[in-house]
Amino acid sequence: MTDGTIDVVKDDVLIIAHRGASGYLPEHTLASIAYAHALGAHYIEQDVVATRDDQLIVLHDVQLDRTTNVANLFPDRKREDGRYYARDFDLAEIKQLTAGERRDDSDINAVFANRFPVGIGSFRVPTLREEIKLIHGLNRSTGRVAGIYPEIKNPAWHREQGVDLSALVVNLLDDMGYRSKADSVYLQCFDAEEVRRIRHEMGCQLRLVQLIGENSWGETTTDYDELKTEEGLHSLAGTVDGVGPWLGQIVDTTGVDGVPMSTGLVSTAHKAGLVVHPYTFRVEQLMPGFESMGEMVAWFVEKLSIEGLFTDFPDRALAALDPERLGNS
C-alpha cells in the first residue's frame, strides 16, 4: 500500500480469510485480522452492519449477543425477541463491549469446542474503517498485499431500521481508495435485488459477488433455487463478477459410495463468465468422502477449478495448494 493507491493482489486461487483467522482467534477482531494477514491470506472478509449513529462496524450478525458481553453491560436493551441489536447502540456504547469467541444457543459454550476459549481476552468490536486501516498498515509494513472482502449484511432489514447500509459501505470504500475493479476488493451480498441496485443504480464499479444461500434460511427474499439455474446464473453476468455458493451447492456426496461429484453449478457459472468463491472450509466440518480440510481444498481446486475459497484456516488452505510453503495441512 502506498499513499493514495491500492495495491493489487495477484494469485491463481484466492484464499479468503473467513471473518479473519477465525479458526484461531475470535471472529472479526483486529487480532484475528492481523493473524490472517500473517498467515498469508490473499483477502480478508468483513461482515458489515450499522450502529444507531450510522457508524459501520464489523460483525457477522445484526445482533451483538453471540459474540459480546452486551447482555451483562446493557441488560435492559434487548428487544422483544430477547436479542440485542447493533442498530440500537451508538458506536461509543459498542466500544465498551468485550468481544470473544462465538457462543452457541446455550450462550455458554463455543460453537466450535476446540477453538479460542470463551471469555478469554479483551477483544473489541472494530469499525470497518479501523479494520481496513489495519490491513493497509500491514500491507505496508510487511510488503505483502492482502485485499478486503466486505459483505453488506441484511440491507433490507437495515432500510427498515432507517439506514441505507449499502450507500454507507460504498461511500466508505470510495473514501479509502477502493473505486474500481482494479482495486483489491470484492463486495458481496446475499440480496440479489440489492446487488443489482449497487451496480446499476448506485453505479458501483467494484467487483461484486452474489452470495447464494438456501431459500429455507430466510436470509433474503431472493429465490436462490432460481438463481442456481443456468438461466439464473446467466442473468447475473451483467451485474456481478462472481458468485459465492456454499459447499453443498457445488458438490454432491450422496452418490455411489459417497464419492464427491460436481453438481455442475461451478461449470455453469464459468460458462456465464463468473468466478466462483465457495464457503466455508473448516477443519471441524469435513464433507463426507474427505479425511482432511487440506484434501477437500485440493479436490475442489483441482476438480472444479474454483478461483477462490472462504476458510477459517487460511494457513491450512494455502498448505493444501503449496505444501512446501507452509507444511502439511
Taking only the tens place, the pLDDT of each residue in 113-123 is: 999 999 999 99
Asked whether the beta carbons of 212 and 228 are under 8 A apart, the reply is yes
On average, the pLDDT of the chain sits at 94
Confidence band for 11, pLDDT divided at 50, 70 and 90 = low
Query: Residue 6 has what pLDDT?
Result: 40
Instruction: Note the CATH architecture for domain 14-64+125-326.
Output: Alpha-Beta Barrel (3.20)
Determine the pLDDT at residue 3: 36
Copy the grid coordinates of residue 275: 468466478
- Whether 28 is catalytic is no
Q: Give pLDDT, residue 322.
A: 85
Indicate if the pLDDT at residue 327 is higher than 60.
no
Active site residue 18: yes
Average pLDDT over residues 62-80: 98
Distance CA 273, CA 107 (A): 43
Provide the grid cell at 250. Answer: 457445488
Task: Please give the single-letter amino acid code of residue 206.
Answer: L
Residues 6+ apart with CB under 8 A from 199: 208, 239, 240
Residue 47: its pLDDT value, please? 98
Is residue 21 over pLDDT 80? yes
pLDDT at 198 over 60: yes
Task: Quote the strand ranges of 162-293, DSSP E.
Answer: 186-189, 207-212, 242-245, 251-252, 261-262, 275-276
Q: What is the per-residue pLDDT for 229?
A: 97
pLDDT, average across residues 112-134: 97
Helix (H, G, I), strand (E, B) or coil at 37: helix
How many whole angstroms separate alpha carbon 207 and alpha carbon 255?
Answer: 35
Residue 10 pLDDT > 90 = no
* pLDDT tens digits, one per residue of 203-244: 999 999 999 999 999 989 999 999 999 999 999 999 999 999
Secondary structure (DSSP) of 106-159: TSSSBSSTTSSPTT-S-B-PPBHHHHHHHHHHHHHHHS---EEEEEE--HHHHH
Residue 5 has pLDDT above 70, yes or no: no
From 18, 28, 37, 158, active-site residue = 18
Grid coordinates belonging to 108: 455458554
Q: Among 10-14, 31-35, 127-131, where is mean pLDDT lowest?
A: 10-14
Looking at residue 199, the DSSP 8-state letter turns out to be I
* pTM score, whole prediction: 0.94
Average pLDDT of the residues in 173-183:
97
pLDDT digits (tens, 9 = 90+) for 303-317: 999 999 999 999 999
Q: Out of 28, 37, 42, 60, which one is annotated catalytic?
A: 60
Residue 7 has pLDDT above 90, yes or no: no
Q: If you ran DSSP here, which 8-state letter would residue 176 be given?
A: T
Domain residue ranges of the chain, discontinuous segments joined by +: 14-64+125-326
Q: 210: part of which helix (H) or strand (E)?
A: strand 207-212
Mean pLDDT, residues 138-167 taken together = 98
Tell me: pLDDT of 58 over 80.
Answer: yes
pLDDT at 329 over 50: no
Q: Are 131 and 145 in contact (CB under 8 A)?
A: no
Residue 285: pLDDT over 80:
yes
